[in-house]
Amino acid sequence: MLRGAGKTGRLFKSRGAACEPSGHHPSGRFCPSACLRSIASTDGQSAFADGPVACERTEPVTPTQNGSEHPIDMARVYLSLGSNQEPHRYLRAALNELRAHFGDIDVSPAYRSAAVGFDGADFINLAVGLDTELSPNELNDWLHALEDRHGRRRDVPRYADRTLDVDIVLYDDLVTQGPGHLDIPRKELKHAFVLKPIADIAPEMRHPVNGRTMAELWAAFPVESEPLIIEQL
């Protein structure tokens, strides 16, 4: 297996041919790097300082021959979903669409927290882990269309009440930015409402910049500064 460096400086892997400097395989497909880390325990439990949290897994994960938990020609992606307008309705609808399009997904517990950056109703947030062949830009466009289908308004300030907000937080170990507010890894990982759900389902996933695992980042987080309350969907 040959390696090629994307223009972000991250390593990409492909089968039988090197990736171009742009991060694309000669076949024209985007080449995400392989994620060789365990994303969660097979019993669906993750333990943190505040005790074990049950994580929903739609199907057991079977490691591939190279030891990864997803096919090498697919990227492992972690999304943050949030809503503060009829959140139970819109988050359930978004999960249904993600399952229908991407198949098996990992879903974290949902958490209620105060709005950040503006005065508004409490948000409910959760994280989803999935495998995809879409490039970051293609996935970002698909997620924006998902938001639009569920009433997301684009004619209001960016930090405002919303029916559905879905962001790509991690895409394998990629570091990149692009149109449509694409920013990987997502800077909102500094907030509890993004970090904790991802740490629940991917405790050993490493931050592509600082190299720390999600579990390590959460263990060092000042939890009293951004209280979270588990919310049933």
Is residue 24 within 8 A of residue 30, CB to CB? The reply is yes
Which two tokens mark 17? 């041919």
Which residues are identified as catalytic? 152, 162, 165, 167
Separation between Cα atoms, residue 200 and residue 118, nearest integer Å: 27
Separation between Cα atoms, residue 124 and residue 112, nearest integer Å: 4
- Collect all residues with Cβ–Cβ distance below 8 Å to 140 and sequence separation of at least 6: 168, 178, 180, 182
Burial class (CB in 10 A: 0-12, 13-18, 19+), 28: exposed
Separation between Cα atoms, residue 103 and residue 60, nearest integer Å: 13
Question: Helix, strand, or coil here: 226?
Answer: coil
